[in-house]
Chains A and B, each alone.
Chain A
Amino acid sequence: MSVNTPVRPDPSAPPPLTVRLGEGDAAQAAEIDDPVFELHNFDAFYGTFQAIRGITMDVAPNKITALIGPSGSGKSTILRWLNRMNDLIPGATMGGEVLYHGVNLFDKRVDPVEVRRRIGMVFQKPNPFPKSIYENVAFGPRVAGFKGKMDDLVEESLRRAAIWDEVKDKLKQPGTALSGGQQQRLCIARAIAVQPDVILMDEPCSALDPVATLRIEELMWELKQNYTIVIVTHNMQQAARASDQTVFMTMSEDRAGVLVETGPTAQIFTNPQNKLTEDYVSGRFG
């Protein structure tokens, strides 16, 4: 098992779990030091429909946090609120609080554009701009007012996304001409180029074949040295293989997504504290 057990102050004594679904105080397996995100009683709505209810959780820095759960449990919705992408969806509203390094993301004074520069995103379907590979990577830094040598930044970003060797001779070719897996790594390079702090990944491998998927997972392991990664995945093997922390969500009776259990990936998959989690990770449900 390739799951790294994260270093925590006292791993031997996780607090006991008491899960009352949807009451906003779902179990926290352990306190996380210096969390990147702190969600407190977070609700999300699309119009009058409540998509998420009472999520309270922390996201650890320089770790890969996987959000797993059945369809409709609100995993992508959470992700899209973390960088305020859902601001762009008409009728999407939220309640509760999300702190990013202690700053309330939804404070009136917070500029969503700056939020998205610091908290990058990789989407479900690779979505390169129909422009050259170079331009795909250079766009973000350019709008951020990057003054250094763009060629170097583009190369560095493509290298970090483990795609440089494949594209270095065809930087002028359209990014859309690449294969699906290459496109997704290009999108990761594009996200890295603005030097974010967090990379959110919304089922980044769902459109990719197993080989390309494995490359993305390897890449995630390298990237977590420098970035905090939150990934939504439908693929439980992927969560087990490629994450440090796992957050299991499910859909309550009124179809609102709620948090069931969160903890180190090894624990969620081998010794879940909640029956629902156990059923899900063992494939009996969902």
Chain B
Amino acid sequence: MADAARLRTPATTAAVQRALEGHTRPWSEYIFQGLLFMALLISLGFLLWLLGDIFIRSLPVWTDRGVGGFVGSNLSSDPLKAGIAQGLFGSIVLMGIVVVLVLPIGIAAAIYLEEYATDNAVTRLLNTTVRNLAGVPAVVYGLLGLAVFVAIMKPVDGLNNGRNLLAGGLTLAIVVLPIVIITAAEALRSVPKPIREAGFGVGATKWEVVRSHVLPYAAPGIFTGVILTIARAFGETAPLLLVGAAAAGFGQAANATVFERVFGPYTALPTTIFSWARQPQEEFKALTAAAIVVLLAVVLIINAIAIILRNRYERRW
């Protein structure tokens, strides 16, 4: 009733001034806002605590051996000599394999789903399946990789019974493929229909429209998605453990040939971290922390590249 009375007040300057001024926001508003902010602080706080803790633990490694000494050294049972050179090499090769496999297959699958498949029950099932596959835990794909890729490599690869970088890369590619398909499909979908119609309207075929227009305009979104996916794959540990990225008892010599490096026993950065974390010696704790710092740095750099690319090339329709 008070509101109604206020509305009826004649709109003289004095009345308007009375009505508009002097009202403060109620306390409940501030309390609610404070609670929301607390929720944010809790989640960010733990993350910062964790990061800070890891960084402080890793400090001895950086001060005693320097970044080059740690990053450039091979695995060793002597914590004073151990480094992540092999792990970094393994991870980079794995990512290379993932990109080469996932980029064409993922984009092609997305083009099919978005541009060619007619909207029917089968297509909807395919779409749902892809989404579900993206949610399957990576360790399950690790088992698949062990059963399929390692088994296939076994007869060819005598160095490590099929547990090589190629099998690892294939497994990681399968892990991220559904995510790439989803992000690529979203990027394709964001190209407005009138652009396609314009292409068809001058007598272009579907493939000409896709190749000359839809795909180029969707490319920034697709590449951003792929880069973010790579960042995720970079830290993926469980499937690699299953397909045999070993870190302990690693017998690979520093002067190994490229062939031996790709088809022999290998390790990746996350698996190195995993195996160091299990070492009983106190010195390995600092090494583990340092390796985590490197892993996080790489992931952050990849994400930053993706964000820069997106801000620079993304098209607003």
CB of B118 within 8 A of CB of A90, answer: yes
Closest residue to B119 on the A side, CB-wise?
A90
A128–B192 CA distance with the chains assembled, in angstroms: 12
Chain A residues with Cβ below 8 Å from B208 are 143
Report B133 CB to chain A, min CB distance, Å. 25
Report B123 CB to chain A, min CB distance, Å. 10
A86-145 with Cβ < 8 A to chain B: 88, 90, 113-114, 116-118, 120-121, 123, 125, 127-130, 139-140, 143-144
**Interface stretch of the complex, out of A6-14, A38-46, A187-195, A253-261:** A187-195
Q: Can you list, as one digit per residue, whether each of A184-225 has a CB less than 8 Å from chain B (1) or not (0)? A: 000100110110000000000000000000000000000000
A208–B198 CA distance with the chains assembled, in angstroms: 18
CB of B200 within 8 A of CB of A129, answer: no
The 8 Å CB contact of A88, one of B192, B195, B197, B198, is: B197
Q: Can you list, as one digit per residue, whether each of B198-237 has a CB less than 8 Å from chain A (1) or not (0)? A: 1111111100100011000100000000000000000000
B315 at the interface (CB under 8 A from A): yes
A32 at the interface (CB under 8 A from B): no
CB of B197 within 8 A of CB of A191, answer: no
B194 at the interface (CB under 8 A from A): yes
The 8 Å CB contact of B195, one of A121, A127, A143, is: A127
Assess A140 versus B195: contact at CB under 8 Å? Given A90-B118, A130-B217, A130-B315. no
Assess A113 versus B204: contact at CB under 8 Å? Given A90-B118, A90-B119, A139-B212. yes
CB of A139 within 8 A of CB of B204, answer: yes
B298-317 with Cβ < 8 A to chain A: 315
Chain A residues with Cβ below 8 Å from B205 are 113, 143
Report A134 CB to chain B, min CB distance, Å. 14
Chain A residues with Cβ below 8 Å from B199 are 129, 139
A109–B201 CA distance with the chains assembled, in angstroms: 19
How many residues from A make CB contacts under 8 Å with B? 26
A90–B194 CA distance with the chains assembled, in angstroms: 16
A201–B292 CA distance with the chains assembled, in angstroms: 61
Report A191 CB to chain B, min CB distance, Å. 7
A28 at the interface (CB under 8 A from B): no
CB of A129 within 8 A of CB of B119, answer: no
Closest residue to A116 on the B side, CB-wise?
B203
Report B153 CB to chain A, min CB distance, Å. 44
A130–B191 CA distance with the chains assembled, in angstroms: 11
CB of B203 within 8 A of CB of A193, answer: no
A83 at the interface (CB under 8 A from B): yes
Assess A85 versus B202: contact at CB under 8 Å? Given A90-B118, A90-B119, A143-B208. no
CB of B203 within 8 A of CB of A113, answer: yes
Chain A residues with Cβ below 8 Å from B192 are 127
The 8 Å CB contact of A143, one of B119, B204, B217, B315, is: B204
A132–B198 CA distance with the chains assembled, in angstroms: 15
Chain B residues with Cβ below 8 Å from A144 are 202-203
The 8 Å CB contact of A85, one of B201, B212, B213, is: B201
The 8 Å CB contact of B202, one of A88, A90, A117, is: A117
Chain A residues with Cβ below 8 Å from B213 are 129
Closest residue to A87 on the B side, CB-wise?
B200
B102-126 with Cβ < 8 A to chain A: 118-119
A192–B205 CA distance with the chains assembled, in angstroms: 18
Interface centre among A113, A125, A191 (most CB of B within 10 A): A113
Assess A139 versus B200: contact at CB under 8 Å? Given A90-B119, A130-B217. no
CB of A191 within 8 A of CB of B202, answer: yes
Closest residue to B201 on the A side, CB-wise?
A121
CB of B202 within 8 A of CB of A190, answer: yes
Chain A residues with Cβ below 8 Å from B194 are 123, 125, 127
CB of A83 within 8 A of CB of B204, answer: no
Report B294 CB to chain A, min CB distance, Å. 40
A130–B216 CA distance with the chains assembled, in angstroms: 10
A88–B202 CA distance with the chains assembled, in angstroms: 14
B240-279 with Cβ < 8 A to chain A: none
A123–B194 CA distance with the chains assembled, in angstroms: 8
Chain A residues with Cβ below 8 Å from B195 are 127, 129-130
Chain A residues with Cβ below 8 Å from B198 are 123, 127-129, 187, 190
CB of B217 within 8 A of CB of A116, answer: no
Closest residue to B205 on the A side, CB-wise?
A113
Report A45 CB to chain B, min CB distance, Å. 16
Q: Which residues of A contact B (CB under 8 A)?
A: 83, 85, 88, 90, 113-114, 116-118, 120-121, 123, 125, 127-130, 139-140, 143-144, 187, 190-191, 193-194
Beyond A129-B199, A130-B195, 18 additional pairs, beta carbon < 8 A: A83-B201, A113-B205, A114-B203, A116-B203, A117-B202, A120-B201, A127-B192, A127-B197, A127-B198, A128-B198, A129-B195, A129-B198, A130-B217, A130-B315, A139-B204, A190-B198, A190-B202, A194-B203
Can you sample 18 A-B contacts with CB below 8 Å? A90-B119, A117-B203, A118-B203, A120-B201, A123-B197, A123-B201, A128-B198, A129-B199, A130-B195, A139-B199, A140-B202, A140-B203, A140-B204, A143-B204, A187-B198, A190-B202, A191-B202, A194-B202
